[in-house]
Amino acid sequence: MSRDAVEQRLAKHDATAALTCEKLQTKKITPHTLRHTTAMTFVCDRLSLGRFSQECKPSWRPISGQKSGKN
């Protein structure tokens, strides 16, 4: 599918979704936005399932009272 065809199809479905979702009326959805959102969803799903090795996990500080997961 060409880049133009992807943009046209996305614009069509974005317009349809904007009819029922006010947030979409003011946001511009691009193929890049869609690609980024999909990638981040995939990464977060994999992290929550523990399917990445420890080296791939992002480093963040736990909320006080929670274990960090590191032994």
Residue 71 has pLDDT above 50, yes or no: no
* CB contact at 8 A, 51 and 43: no
Domain for residue 25, yes or no? yes
pLDDT at 44: 77
Our count of domains for the chain comes to 1
pLDDT band per the 50, 70, 90 thresholds, residue 63? low
Range of the domain at 40: 3-51
Q: Report pTM.
A: 0.52
Domain for residue 71, yes or no? no
Domain for residue 19, yes or no? yes
* CB contact at 8 A, 34 and 10: yes
Of 3-12, 41-50, 55-64, highest mean pLDDT? 3-12
- What is the tens place of the pLDDT at every residue in 34-59? 888 888 888 877 776 665 555 555 55
- The DSSP symbol for 64 reads T
